[in-house]
């Protein structure tokens, strides 16, 4: 039986601890009980804190710990470590947990491609601080992606991804993505059948792959380059018009090469890519709040061909325009 170790710390999100424990403890159990079969648990779980004392979560709940991670001399080959969401201010948690960061650094490298350590949401900041994510793909909550990129430029951040796996490290995106992470890890460690049964028993949509439908354009404005901010403000009012890179360079007073470099450094995207995101954001708002047809929305945001717009919309949000309206329309 595999051991799943959840690391507790002051300011963690309680649901990302208790929910993950529930998922792993009930894998092979709930589905069997529903069908009157003999339960077969696949995982044991434990919550470890620095001192072995209870974990004080951000919502005020206190969760009893099973011991201290400092007392864990070595992890077995079947052990899986999970870092939950940081609910308190991120910089504060990183500064208050140097011992944990040091302990996590043992996961910087391994010859085993089986997932050994995972994070949910902003828990990725702890892994990155420990160097575990250097030169690896990772994801985190979309709202903190700019902060993450600025602090950890050596990490290949994929903020639109709901779950990333790179070698022995897995990361999940924002908020309740621990559902998806948990089901994925159950599949990796207990098999696809057990994971499918778990998802059905907990009524989890196991088909999600992107957090892009929930992301906000505002996350790309957390920078201090005045020329790029001014250009972004201009694009706010002119995104539906024909826009060329040459025109943007002229407006910014930069050469095209300098514009691309500074825009990428500030926002994590190219000017053309950002313009696409801006148009998609506007389309999302129309689909959520208006009764415009998809053809009308296409024209309103600056595109002519509906099929091309639909492909682009799906690329950015993971959903076709019609499916997006069905899910999020008011």
Q: What is the pLDDT of residues 83-115, one digit of tens each?
A: 999 999 999 999 999 999 999 998 887 656 677
Q: Which residues of the chain have pLDDT under 70?
A: 73-78, 110-113, 205-223
Q: Which of 31, 4, 10 has its CA nearest to residue 198?
A: 31
**CA gap 196, 184 in Å, rounded:** 10
Sheet holding 80-83, edge to edge: 67-68, 43-49, 2-7, 80-83, 117-120, 169-172, 163-166
What's CA 302's distance to the chain center, in Å?
A: 29
38: left (phi over 0), alpha (psi -120 to 50) or beta: beta
- pLDDT of amino acid 215: 55
Cα distances from 74 to residues 40, 107, 112, 301, in angstroms, run 27, 12, 15, 56
């Amino acid at each position: 039986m595999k051991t799943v170790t959840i690391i507790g710390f002051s300011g963690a999100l309680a649901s990302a601890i208790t929910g993950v424990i529930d998922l792993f403890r009930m894998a092979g159990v709930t589905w069997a009980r529903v069908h009157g079969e003999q339960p077969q648990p696949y995982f044991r779980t434990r919550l470890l804190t620095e001192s072995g004392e209870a974990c004080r979560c951000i919502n005020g709940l206190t969760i009893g710990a099973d011991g201290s991670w400092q007392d864990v001399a070595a992890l077995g080959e079947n052990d899986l470590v999970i870092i939950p969401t940081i609910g308190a201010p991120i910089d504060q948690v990183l500064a208050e947990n140097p011992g944990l960061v040091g302990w996590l650094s043992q996961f910087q490298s391994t010859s085993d491609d089986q997932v050994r350590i995972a994070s949910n949401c902003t828990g990725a900041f702890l892994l990155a601080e420990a160097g575990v994510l250097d030169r690896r793909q990772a994801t985190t909550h979309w709202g903190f992606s700019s902060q993450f990129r600025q602090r950890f430029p050596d990490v290949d951040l994929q903020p639109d991804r709901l779950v990333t796996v790179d070698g022995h490290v897995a990361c999940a995106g924002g908020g309740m993505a621990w559902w998806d992470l948990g089901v994925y890890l159950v599949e990796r460690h207990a098999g696809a059948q057990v994971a499918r049964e778990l998802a059905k028993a907990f009524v989890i949509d196991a088909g999600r792959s992107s957090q892009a439908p929930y992301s906000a354009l505002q996350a790309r404005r957390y920078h201090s380059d005045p020329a790029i901010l001014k250009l972004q403000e201009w694009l706010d009012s002119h995104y539906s018009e024909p826009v060329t890179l040459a025109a943007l360079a002229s407006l910014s007073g930069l050469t095209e090469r300098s514009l691309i470099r500074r825009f990428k450094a500030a926002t994590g995207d190219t000017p053309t890519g950002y313009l696409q995101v801006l148009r998609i954001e506007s389309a999302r708002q129309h689909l959520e709040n208006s009764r415009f047809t998809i053809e009308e929305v296409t024209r309103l945001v600056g595109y002519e061909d509906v099929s091309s717009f639909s492909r682009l919309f799906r690329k950015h949000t993971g959903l076709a325009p019609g499916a997006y309206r069905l899910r999020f329309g008011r």
